[in-house]
Structure 1
Amino acid sequence: MKSEDIPAFVEEVAATGCNITGIAGVGYIVGDADLPDGQLEEVMPKLSAITKSYGKRDHLLEEITEYLVSIGRSYPLPGVH
């Protein structure tokens, strides 16, 4: 995965219904654990396909997190402290 792929990656993950969220200074979570069981089983193959198509992204952890925070997909939510 390259830096320029981050917005598309986030958009594809979010389109599955997962609440991908950046946690400043920590990293990010995909949000799949918050899905109801039936939906989780449906989403897992989609997430696997997305992960496979974008490849390794560990080297972009900070950039992905910063992008998520910059678009308001963060915890705590912007303005909430």
Structure 2
Amino acid sequence: MRKDQIPEFVDEIIATGCPICAVGHDTYVFGEIDVLDEDFDRVVREVQEICDNYGERDHLRLEIAAYLRSIGRVFDLPEETVH
């Protein structure tokens, strides 16, 4: 995955119904998929296909988290747990 693909990647993940958000400033997570039971397996497959299509993205973890923060998709940790 390239840095310029981050917005496209995030948009595609969100479009599946799977939430994605930054946690703090240096991490991001895929959230629990909140869809009908009969759609769950399909969404999981779609998310996996998107991840496979974009390839390795660990080297962009900070940039992905920063992009998610910039679009308001963030879960901030309480100050006492941030190191």
TM-score band, normalised by shorter chain: 0.7 to 0.9
Structure 2 equivalent of residue 13 of structure 1: 13
RMSD, matched Cα = 1.4
**Partner residue of 1:46?**
46
Q: Which runs of 4+ in 1 moved over 2 A?
A: 33-40
Q: Which moved more, 1:65-74 or 1:21-30?
A: 21-30
Structure 1 segments unaligned to the other structure (5+ residues):
77-81
The runs of 5 or more residues in structure 2 that have no matched partner are 77-83
Amino acid at match of 1:17: G
Normalised TM-score (structure 1): 0.83
Match of 2:68 in 1: 68
1:22 alignment partner in structure 2:
22
Output the CA distance in 1 between the equivalents of 2:57 and 2:28. 12
Specify the code of the residue in structure 2 equivalent to 1:13.
I
Q: Is this contact kept in 2: 1:18–1:30, CA < 8 A?
A: yes
Tell me how far 1:69 sits from its aligned partner.
Answer: 0.4
Q: Which has the larger radius of gyration?
A: 2
